[in-house]
Chain A
Amino acid sequence: DSGVTQTPKHLITATGQRVTLRCSPRSGDLSVYWYQQSLDQGLQFLIQYYNGEERAKGNILERFSAQQFPDLHSELNLSSLELGDSALYFCASSNTGFGNTIYFGEGSWLTVV
């Protein structure tokens, strides 16, 4: 158990819909990272928040957005969903923006039908 909690574990939704994935980082961790793992792309970095502020951005679509709240939990919002958005979404955390490693949650499986 990494200490990073993600909900929901599984989600099935229709094209065009919007979903929110939630992440609670390890206790004391200020940084939260979101990754997407799809069959053809592997693990791809999406975005990082540090203590409520966006710190780094990767290949995140404009239809996707994220935020980190004062209690340090984070949400990833996916809108206008397409079939290709079906993937495993991981959240990870670390105790600073410059930790040597990051700790991953178990992921949220999103299936768009």
Chain B
Amino acid sequence: DQQVKQNSPSLSVQEGRISILNCDYTNSMFDYFLWYKKYPAEGPTFLISISSIKDKNEDGRFTVFLNKSAKHLSLHIVPSQPGDSAVYFCAARTGGTSYGKLTFGQGTILTVHP
């Protein structure tokens, strides 16, 4: 039972263009969502998060959008840079439980070409 799904295993984008990574979830009890970035031989690194009471959160080149009715969130990277090439994981957690108990998607490999 995969409660968080990233249906695109990979995404290839040209430098300077927008990267859009998508994530769908099934558990309506999720109330907080996070995106992590992972480089090879490193652990996941926190990127940006959003609470279920919001529909958008922005941090520099990164913006996360949440559509609760569709149970869908997306991460926009503008402009994309070659250093953004990594695996991106969407994660979610339910309220009232440990904040570190995250449910992760399978990840999307982003490649940004110069």
Which A residues fall within an 8 A CB radius of B?
A: 2, 4, 31, 33, 42-45, 48, 55-56, 58, 90, 92, 94, 97-107
The distance in angstroms between the C-alpha atoms of A56 and B98, with both chains bound, is 6
A-B contact pairs, 6 of them (CB 8 A): A33-B101, A42-B106, A45-B102, A45-B103, A102-B100, A104-B43
Among A42, A48, A100, A104, point to the contact of B98 (Cβ < 8 A): A48
Q: Is B49 located at the chain interface by the 8 A CB criterion?
A: yes
The distance in angstroms between the C-alpha atoms of A22 and B102, with both chains bound, is 21
Contacts beyond the supplied A33-B101, A43-B102, A90-B43: 8 A-B pairs with Cβ under 8 Å: A45-B100, A56-B100, A92-B43, A98-B99, A101-B49, A102-B102, A104-B45, A106-B41
A48 touches B43 (CB 8 A): no
- Min Cβ gap A10→B in Å is 11
Tier of interface size on chain B: 20 to 34
B97 / chain A contacts, CB cutoff of 8 Å: 56
B98 / chain A contacts, CB cutoff of 8 Å: 31, 48, 55-56, 97-98
B100 touches A99 (CB 8 A): yes
B59 / chain A contacts, CB cutoff of 8 Å: none
Q: Is B44 located at the chain interface by the 8 A CB criterion?
A: yes
Chain B 43-66 interface mask (CB, 8 Å, partner A; 1/0)? 111100100000000000000000
Q: Which residue of A lies closest to B89 (CB)?
A: A43
The distance in angstroms between the C-alpha atoms of A42 and B102, with both chains bound, is 12
- Min Cβ gap B29→A in Å is 15
B101 touches A56 (CB 8 A): yes
The distance in angstroms between the C-alpha atoms of A42 and B23, with both chains bound, is 14
B43 touches A2 (CB 8 A): yes
Given the known interface contacts A48-B101, A97-B98, the answer about A107 and B43 at a Cβ–Cβ threshold of 8 Å is yes
B49 touches A106 (CB 8 A): no
A99 touches B43 (CB 8 A): no
The distance in angstroms between the C-alpha atoms of A44 and B107, with both chains bound, is 12
